[in-house]
Amino acid sequence: MASKWSEAVERYCQEFDIPIEHLSEILRDSKVNPMIRGKGFEYSARDYLSSLLNADEWEVSKPRMNAQANIHDVDILVTNKSHKVDFSIECKLSKKGSFKVSKSGDASASVKCMRSRTLGVKQVQSRAPQLGISSDQLSVHNDNYWDDEFQIVLSSLGNAFYQTDPKSGEYVFSPNASELSMIQTVLNSKESNIQTNAYNYFFVARAQDLTPLRRGTQCARQKCKNKSKCRFIPNYPEVSFVSKTGHIKAPWLPASQLENLLLKILSE
């Protein structure tokens, strides 16, 4: 007897006229695969947070939303039951092939944190007054997130080790020797299934802590007129790791510390 999920897949293919015998090829297509994996990551993250947070105190959900121009599409909603406060968590994969080990031995990767749909002219004109900034300033950042559209960014390390195979065009997990050694340090594991463990290494940061304003850095956008006080999250915020210990550097934290971070926000 077919399982429920396989029945659901078959029903889906019939409903949308997708040849099920070619489904694997369709999902592996280089234009389809990133979107599928990004959406799949949201569900993996939800399941992880559901197991991490005490169900008596926290509710983890994945709202079904149809994002509008001025309404952010919430990936995961975490609710503190005692205080009846919601936290919006944005799930973003690390950037493909971004894991690097420096000569000093420290390592870094990037998190792909940008809008899937850029703001158009009308959306910019409508949203800019709500943010208290000029339309020109928002136009410069029309693919960036403002720092209070969600409270937390959650990512995973796995995607940073993927490369595009030049022959097949498919994405393959292929860390080199120095990257493999460092990821084993980060994961504190010598196990063979590094790929799965890397995907299960979740880390989080408070959204506002990723902005130039909070980092004490300069906005990289050439036309930004508020570079040192910019409240937009860069497209590819960096996450770094200490060479000897593999510990993640601030403002990022292991996702196991998410509850403490949420409680800290609650106390402010």
pLDDT at 233: 98
> Helix H segments across 16-95?
23-28, 33-52
Residues 6+ apart with CB under 8 A from 206: 151, 152, 153, 251, 261, 265
- Contact present, 255 and 202 (Cβ < 8 Å): yes
Q: Note the pTM of the prediction, 2 decimals.
A: 0.91
What is the C-alpha separation between 194 and 93, in angstroms, rounded?
17
What pairing do the DSSP bridges indicate for beta strands 152-156 and 85-91? parallel
> Helix H segments across 74-227?
121-131, 135-140, 177-187, 194-199, 212-215
What pairing do the DSSP bridges indicate for beta strands 100-101 and 107-110? antiparallel
One-letter amino acid identity for 196?
T
Give me 139's structure tokens.
């136009």
CA-nearest of 249, 257, 265 to 88 is 265
Q: b/e string for 198-217 if b means 16 or more Cβ within 10 A?
A: bbebbbbbbbbbbbbbeeee
pLDDT tens digits, the chain, 268 residues: what are they? Answer: 458 899 999 999 999 999 999 999 999 888 898 889 999 999 999 999 999 999 999 999 998 765 554 456 899 999 999 999 999 999 999 999 999 998 888 899 999 999 988 999 999 999 999 999 999 999 999 999 999 999 999 999 999 999 888 888 788 888 988 898 898 999 887 777 888 999 999 999 999 999 999 999 999 999 999 999 999 999 999 999 998 899 999 999 999 999 999 999 999 9
pLDDT at 104: 84
Give me 255's structure tokens.
């996702």
Give me 158's structure tokens.
């796995």
Q: What angle do CA 99, 39, 58 make, to 5 degrees?
A: 95
pLDDT at 65: 64
What is the separation, in whole angstroms, between the first and last Cα of the chain? 54
Q: What angle do CA 218, 224, 226 make, to 5 degrees?
A: 65
- Contact present, 201 and 158 (Cβ < 8 Å): yes
Domain ranges of the chain: 1-30, 90-267
pLDDT at 170: 82
User: Taking each helix axis from N to C terminus, what angle separates 33-52 and 258-267, rounded to the nearest 10 degrees?
Assistant: 70
